[in-house]
Homo-oligomer: A and B are copies of this chain.
């Protein structure tokens, strides 16, 4: 499956808005049971005494969900070859059951590969917001993305 943007299609400053998604209490507890079973993610009673005042989503879930929202825009389809890593990941505000999240992803840097002419590294800035437009997460992620080569559809 293709249809995504190639490295060469992107310009620093390009920005993409994702759809929204509502994070249910069930989704928060299910994720945390496997990946992050701390009381403030799985136990409503204990969570009410935490510094958040109630159950909140695991920060790892917020990251994964944000990536999923971006993936669903189609920008990466067939052209994202993998990831190098992330920097400056900040959980800026708690995510509560019933919150509806959306994200804005901006191209921050474009670095062609020196050794491999068929790819380059794209640094994307991810910012995730809740239904009150409070920023709950921000991070940068370096993606390896395919370059246009002769014969690719333009």
Contact = CB atoms under 8 A, between A and B. Distances in A.
Interface of A: 1, 34-40, 50-52, 58-60, 63-65, 67-68, 71, 76, 78, 80-91, 139, 144
Contact of A51 (B82, B87, B90, B139): B82
Contacts of A40: 82
Contact of A85 (B58, B81, B82, B88): B88
Contacts of A59: 83, 85
Nearest to A116: B51
Number of copies: 2
A92 to B, nearest CB: 8
Contacts of A58: 64
Given A67-B36, A76-B38, A51 B81 contact: yes
